[in-house]
A and B are shown apart, each in its own frame.
Chain A
């Protein structure tokens, strides 16, 4: 490969190279270090080009869906664009779930898919699929490269679109003949991507109006979301400053966890269906709600006509289509949430002093009263041979991981264990929490752990999993073995698809239709067959030791934590209910009703 272009990447270089070489060069210029992929017939020229270079590392997954989830976690934990490479037909269709997962959670990805040679497109060729047709609704944008002249330009634009504005997945479908034939290379500097519509800087007047409303607030609340994580670590810093300055309470969506420190006294925990009592009642009772990079998801709002009924609503989002999509807001602000918060700080300091400190103190007292309910408390029988509660298992994993003082990344699968992890893990930094929020993809966590560990080889990477979700992408234990990734997989094994079981108990008369995890594998022997360490705890006195040993083990570990089967995840806002109609756990039920009445009277 000539190095002229890499020495002057911004200059137009029309030297023709095989398409696959153009692809490699474009990826390098885009700063790609890792690709998650799986080879096949249509991408053989690309794999050949990969073989003949050393700048980009390829991680071989065991299923294309896992490649996408791994790339998502890589992106989420580094802030870079994740890159996926799959073959045509089944390779591309297997990637669809992951692409939609990334679209729903606004994760920047570029997925390169092989395609049959252009002259064969439309003839039902072997492993042909209408990939751009299939992936159009699951990507931010997609391309089929038909003309070699446009190859380099398309690739650069794909990266720009993936990372600009509200990030998302972009797919580039690459016919085999385009990869084999010659194509000109064009540097990224010579390309003007169609990202011009993105508005980064908010309208100053709107920010000033928002701050004026915040100055009048007596019961304010910041409702923060994944947009703050996507706006970069600086945005999380700005949020902390803004919260300190205003003394306003902060709640977060599932996707926003870590943007504000979970251990901070101003943090009320997550809101929504399995959010905390204090976060949900504060949302219900606040008089000014400041939504920062969050999108009023139905898991957050509960019954819409009862969502935060008396508040003046400010909504900051980079994507104009999110404004008034679900909840009518009083003051929309289009722009980058980090920049907007920075301007809010300026305005807060410039405008007249906040005059409602007494009311804010009363609001905090109210919040403390709600908080004193301790809605996440559960009772664990302390007998040595007691059955382990799933909450106990997850809380101890969190506490013992924290004791190691290692940089820790946590992925989850989807279900009860995911919600408990969201409740009990307290993140002090952004980009550490990797979970499938919008799409709720079972099988996300294990490949996500692969992606996070590849990106952060020295960090502690945990997958908090359920036994049912684990089996959805369990083949990735092979990837973990091949790359010696010291991932710790904690299976919260209750022999049920726990969240399905919970809904069946609460809403379908305890008819546990098909939600029992029958015929489970022996997870210890499964681990060992994949060259990992397998461990198990079945009684309380084994729990801490097993977790400690797993965390200390230098290689991959699969821990089968056999927990109580019938536990439900509380608090819970049943679908169709309002925030002040939460179902509390058995520990809080009696007092909860009282506090709810008091709460209604007060706010």
Chain B
């Protein structure tokens, strides 16, 4: 048996956009003791009949395969992909980060924001709201850097992910 080391996995799925569909997916995770690190969901087709759910979870490769299989057997789920296992993919999230500070700290926050290509979407004399898009790691490090500079509030979207290249879900 291969060595099974737990790690994060990005799972994307398409689900019929019906009442209770999201509860069904979330309930499956909580009922079977799987972990949800982040979750995004929104309709993705023209008519709004199909939603895409991106879940970041953790587990051994065997755990993740079991999670995929449990999602796959749900009636309204038409497609499940473990993007982490399938190869190169793009995973992005967006965060709104409020920093409240003055003087040196305020200038430093703005300088770091520029280095991260974060946009100041709201500015007052004592605060910034930065909008930052990128990988989870990038957002994490930006937030860490803001912490001593007056970090006041964070709102993150969770991961949206898609496979690289012409192949689709």
Check if A323 sits within 8 Å of B27, measured CB to CB.
no
Bound CA–CA A133/B21 (angstroms): 11
0/1 per residue, B19-50, Cβ < 8 Å to A?
11001100100010000000000000000000
Q: How far is the CB of B53 from chain A (nearest CB, A)?
A: 16
A586 at the interface (CB under 8 A from B): no
Interface residue count on the B side (C-beta < 8 Å):
17
- Contact for A324 among B66, B72, B75, CB less than 8 A: B66
A326 closest partner in B (C-beta): B66
Bound CA–CA A439/B60 (angstroms): 28
Bound CA–CA A525/B38 (angstroms): 61
A319 at the interface (CB under 8 A from B): yes
A57 at the interface (CB under 8 A from B): no
Check if B23 sits within 8 Å of A141, measured CB to CB.
no
- Contact for A320 among B24, B27, B69, CB less than 8 A: B69
B73 at the interface (CB under 8 A from A): yes
Check if A137 sits within 8 Å of B75, measured CB to CB.
no
Known A-B contacts A141-B75, A146-B19, A328-B1; the reply to A321 vs B70 at CB < 8 A is yes
Which residues does chain A contribute within 8 Å of B69, judged by CB atoms? Answer: 320-321, 323, 325
0/1 per residue, A125-154, Cβ < 8 Å to B?
000000011001100111010100000000
Which residues does chain A contribute within 8 Å of B31, judged by CB atoms? Answer: 137
Interface residue count on the A side (C-beta < 8 Å):
19
Which residues does chain A contribute within 8 Å of B66, judged by CB atoms? Answer: 321, 324-325
Bound CA–CA A141/B24 (angstroms): 9
Check if B73 sits within 8 Å of A197, measured CB to CB.
yes
A194 closest partner in B (C-beta): B75
Within A139-184, the residues touching B (CB, 8 Å) are 140-142, 144, 146, 161
Q: How far is the CB of A171 from chain B (nearest CB, A)?
A: 12
Which residues does chain A contribute within 8 Å of B24, judged by CB atoms? Answer: 136
B117 at the interface (CB under 8 A from A): no
Bound CA–CA A133/B27 (angstroms): 10
B62 at the interface (CB under 8 A from A): yes
Q: How far is the CB of A106 from chain B (nearest CB, A)?
A: 12
Check if B20 sits within 8 Å of A136, measured CB to CB.
yes
Check if B76 sits within 8 Å of A133, measured CB to CB.
no
Bound CA–CA A132/B24 (angstroms): 10
Check if A136 sits within 8 Å of B23, measured CB to CB.
yes
Q: How far is the CB of B67 from chain A (nearest CB, A)?
A: 9
B71 closest partner in A (C-beta): A321
- Contact for B73 among A132, A133, A320, A324, CB less than 8 A: A320
Bound CA–CA A443/B1 (angstroms): 43
Known A-B contacts A136-B27, A137-B31, A325-B66; the reply to A319 vs B73 at CB < 8 A is yes
Check if B72 sits within 8 Å of A194, measured CB to CB.
no
Which residues does chain B contribute within 8 Å of A161, judged by CB atoms? Answer: 75
0/1 per residue, B56-85, Cβ < 8 Å to A?
000000100110011011011000000000
Question: Which of B72, B73, B75 lies at the interface centre, i.e. has the most chain A CB atoms within 10 A of its CB?
Answer: B75
Bound CA–CA A161/B74 (angstroms): 11
Question: Which of A132, A320, A328 lies at the interface centre, i.e. has the most chain B CB atoms within 10 A of its CB?
Answer: A320
Within A320-353, the residues touching B (CB, 8 Å) are 320-321, 323-325, 328
A140 closest partner in B (C-beta): B75
B73 closest partner in A (C-beta): A321
Which residues does chain B contribute within 8 Å of A323, judged by CB atoms? Answer: 69
Bound CA–CA A328/B23 (angstroms): 30
Question: Which of A321, A324, A325 lies at the interface centre, i.e. has the most chain B CB atoms within 10 A of its CB?
Answer: A321
A321 closest partner in B (C-beta): B69
Bound CA–CA A10/B72 (angstroms): 30
Bound CA–CA A142/B75 (angstroms): 10
0/1 per residue, A296-330, Cβ < 8 Å to B?
00000000000000000000000111011100100
Bound CA–CA A91/B164 (angstroms): 51
Check if B23 sits within 8 Å of A133, measured CB to CB.
yes
Which residues does chain A contribute within 8 Å of B70, judged by CB atoms? Answer: 321
Bound CA–CA A325/B69 (angstroms): 10
Check if A320 sits within 8 Å of B20, measured CB to CB.
no
Check if B20 sits within 8 Å of A133, measured CB to CB.
yes
B79 closest partner in A (C-beta): A197
Bound CA–CA A282/B65 (angstroms): 30
Within A182-199, the residues touching B (CB, 8 Å) are 194, 197
Which 3 interchain pairs have the tightest Cβ spacing?
A321-B69, A141-B75, A320-B69
Please list the residues of chain A having a beta carbon within 8 angstroms of any beta carbon in chain B.
132-133, 136-137, 140-142, 144, 146, 161, 194, 197, 319-321, 323-325, 328
Q: Can you pick out 16 interface pairs between chain A and chain B where the beta carbons lie within 8 Å of each other?
A: A136-B24, A137-B31, A141-B75, A161-B75, A194-B75, A197-B72, A197-B73, A319-B73, A320-B69, A320-B72, A320-B73, A321-B70, A323-B69, A324-B62, A325-B69, A328-B62
Known: A136-B24, A321-B73, A324-B66. 8 other contacts (CB 8 A): A132-B20, A133-B20, A137-B31, A194-B76, A197-B73, A324-B62, A324-B65, A328-B1
